Amino acid sequence: MRQERQTSFLKTVEAAERFITGFEDDPDQEGIPALLKNLREIISAETKSKSVPEKSADIYKPTCSECGSDDILNDAYAEWDNDGQSWILQQVFDKGAICQDCGGETSLDWVPPTHPRLRSS
């Protein structure tokens, strides 16, 4: 409901901006440039806030606390799914992570995914 109200709000402001633009060069109308400036600031702020992807800062990846590699295997249980005919990850354990670069057991550091290898895959 809130989303619908915001959309119609933006549409109304845009319609007002288009309407008032028609009077922009009319010397009989006062305060048009200031009014248009305000309306256009509202429109650009509304449009900008919608184009920014949400939660991008909340994405993290596990990395090796020893060497920083994200080539990590984790100890887990998988359960066979008859309907989907595949293994479904049931439980991932907090301990038992293995770094494929170090070749041994390690603990994990959760970091934002800035590594190019993760972005391309």
Residues that bind Zn ion (CB under 5 A): 64, 66-67, 69, 99, 101-102
**Could you tell me where the beta strands, DSSP code E, fall in the chain?**
61-64, 72-73, 76-81, 86-92, 97-99, 104-106, 108-111
In angstroms, the Cα distances linking 1 to 9, 55, 112 are 12, 21, 33
Pick 69 or 74: Cβ nearer Zn ion: 69
Q: What are φ and ψ of residue 29, in 5° steps?
A: -95, 135
Pick 67 or 88: Cβ nearer Zn ion: 67
**Minimum gap (Å) between residue 71 Cβ and Zn ion:** 8
**Minimum gap (Å) between residue 64 Cβ and Zn ion:** 3
Pick 13 or 113: Cβ nearer Zn ion: 113
**Minimum gap (Å) between residue 61 Cβ and Zn ion:** 14
